[in-house]
Amino acid sequence: MIPHIREVRIRNYKSVDQAAVSLEPFTLLVGPNGSGKSNFIDCLAFVQECLAESIELAFKNRGGINAVRRKSGGHPTHIGIGLSLCLHDGGTADYGFEIAAEKAGGFRVARESCRRRPFMGPEAGFEVVDGEFIKEIAGIRPKVSPDRLALFAASATEEFRPVFDFLTSMRVYSVAPERLRELQDPDPGVYLKRDGSNAAAVLKQVKQAGGGNDRYARLCRLLSKVVRGLSCVEYRPVGQKETLQFRQDVGLAHPWRFDALNMSDGTLRALGLLLAVYQVGKASVVAVEEPEATVHPAVMDVIVDVLLDASNDRQVLVTTHSPDILEHKGIRDSQIRVVTLDQNRTLICPLSEASREAVRSKLYTLGELLRSDELSADVKAAKRAASEFSLFDSAKDPFQTPQ
């Protein structure tokens, strides 16, 4: 079984009022600009940053709690996030937390809960309310700071370490070509940053890591399909900075060398996506925002091939509004979630039965439905799931997930 997030439950996060979204190992989130696709993906990045760094830093990176918490007339307006996970050992887990706003932009963790169900052996769990353990963990101090998550401390135990490792290794990418052009600061290069601003260091690690030569050769080979004549890309130090250098065959005896500064947006974005997949650090989830941006439609088949291949050993989530991506022969209608805005609320819905039937009957392709604005969402199903969910526990039997 591929480790993956089976369900995400969200309350009061940016444009998401309340949602329960099932995910597959490869999932496409399809919708127009401004519908809330990025907000859903950012919710996962928020969880990762809260655990790997701190809640305070995660809020600061987004402009403070008031920029994250959805404005609503109802009370309380706690930010709530819950996730149901299928883990590498065949077991499952439910993890969630609620964050309450305090005066002057402050916050506290109102509640946090984790249930870990190994494939074999007893269930383990803990629950914390306002810093006090309601259900304790053996060997863990029975009180945590109200601005910290208890899962960090719980990760010292064998039972909860897999949950912590999964959540802290999620990675979200919105590659910014201009950041790849800039001279970059030295970096360990284990994980690619969200905007790709440490791409040179990541490329260096890919080339040097044990077994990395195969990855590096594949990366260069795939990049050559994106840009005709491009033979490879290399790490290059520049004083105390570092950058990327490309070698391209221009019909002369020796290939020309081009620094990143001289490369197109499409080339740099494609390189960033390849690095996200082939980086040394093993991400449990790779979420990519709009890979079609600045990339020629003829190249999209290569990009989707890479992302589908990556989903064979980790979860891949992609936001898009590109019909060309949906036209790929490897995309199934069950992998699509339609994102729409309803009265300023983001709804993340399964594909409607009418759209599924049109595709299965070969009346239309998924791309044709999107081009004609006929790719419709099952809004009733999304609203029903949102009204029935429990933030801290999946409503479904976790062992019924297909393997």
pLDDT 10s digits, 188-231: 999 999 999 999 999 999 999 865 458 899 999 999 998 888 99
Q: Which of 263, 281, 299 is the last residue of a domain?
A: 281
Give φ, ψ of 236 to 5 degrees.
Answer: -140, 120
Q: Same structural domain for residues 325 and 358?
A: yes
Same domain as 264, residue 347: no
> Which of 243, 261, 281 is the endpoint of a domain?
281
Residue 403 pLDDT exceeds 70: no
* 10 in the same domain as 144: yes
The residues, ordered by sequence, that sit 6+ positions from 340 with a Cβ below 8 Å of its Cβ are 31, 35, 346, 347, 349, 377, 379
For residue 400, is pLDDT > 50? no
Question: Higher model confidence: residue 250 or residue 306?
Answer: 306
**Contact between 286 and 175 (Cβ < 8 Å):** no
Within this chain, do residues 160 and 293 fall inside the same structural domain, yes or no? yes
Per-residue pLDDT reduced to its tens digit, 150-168: 999 899 899 999 999 999 9
pLDDT for the residue numbered 326:
95
Token pair belonging to 353: 């039965």
pLDDT at 396 over 60: no
Q: Supply the CATH number for residue 14's domain.
A: 3.40.50.300
Its pTM stands at 0.93
Q: Which domain does 240 fall in, by range?
A: 177-281
Q: Are residues 27 and 102 in the same domain?
A: yes
In terms of domains, do 77 and 110 share one? yes
User: pLDDT value at position 76?
Assistant: 65
Q: How far apart are CA 116 and CA 2, in angstroms?
A: 17
Whether 156 and 184 map to the same domain: the answer is no
Q: Are both 252 and 383 inside the same structural domain?
A: no
128 and 212 together in one domain = no
What mean pLDDT comes out for the span 362-389?
A: 93
Tokens 């005896």 belong to residue: 253
Question: Do 305 and 271 share a structural domain?
Answer: no
> Burial of 240 by CB count in 10 Å (0-12 exposed, 13-18 middle, 19+ buried)?
exposed
Residues 47 and 75 in one domain: yes
Q: What is the mean pLDDT of the chain?
A: 91
The number of beta carbons lying within 10 Å of the beta carbon of residue 8 is 21
Q: How many domains does the chain have?
A: 2
Among candidates 26, 23, 28, 61, which has minimal Cα distance to 42? Answer: 61
What is the 3 state secondary structure string of the chain?
CCCEEEEEEEEEECCEEEEEEECCCEEEEECCCCCCHHHHHHHHHHHHHHHHCCHHHHHHCCCCHHHHECCCCCCCCCEEEEEEEECCCCCEEEEEEEEEECHHHCEEEEEEEEEEECCCCCCEEEEEECCEEEECCCCCCCECCCCCCHHHHHCCCCCCHHHHHHHHCEEEECCCHHHHHCCECCCCCCCCCCCCCCHHHHHHHHHHCCCHHHHHHHHHHHHHHHCCCEEEEEEEEECCEEEEEEEECCCCCCCEEEEHHHCCHHHHHHHHHHHHHHCCCCCCEEEEECCCCCCCHHHHHHHHHHHHHHCCCCEEEEEECCHHHHCCCCCCHHHEEEEEEECCEEEEEEECHHHHHHHHCCCCCHHHHHHCCCCCECHHHHHHHHHHCECCECCCCHHHCCC
Domain end call among 281, 296, 329: 281
56/146 same-domain check: yes
Instruction: Label residue 54 by pLDDT band (50, 70, 90).
Output: very high
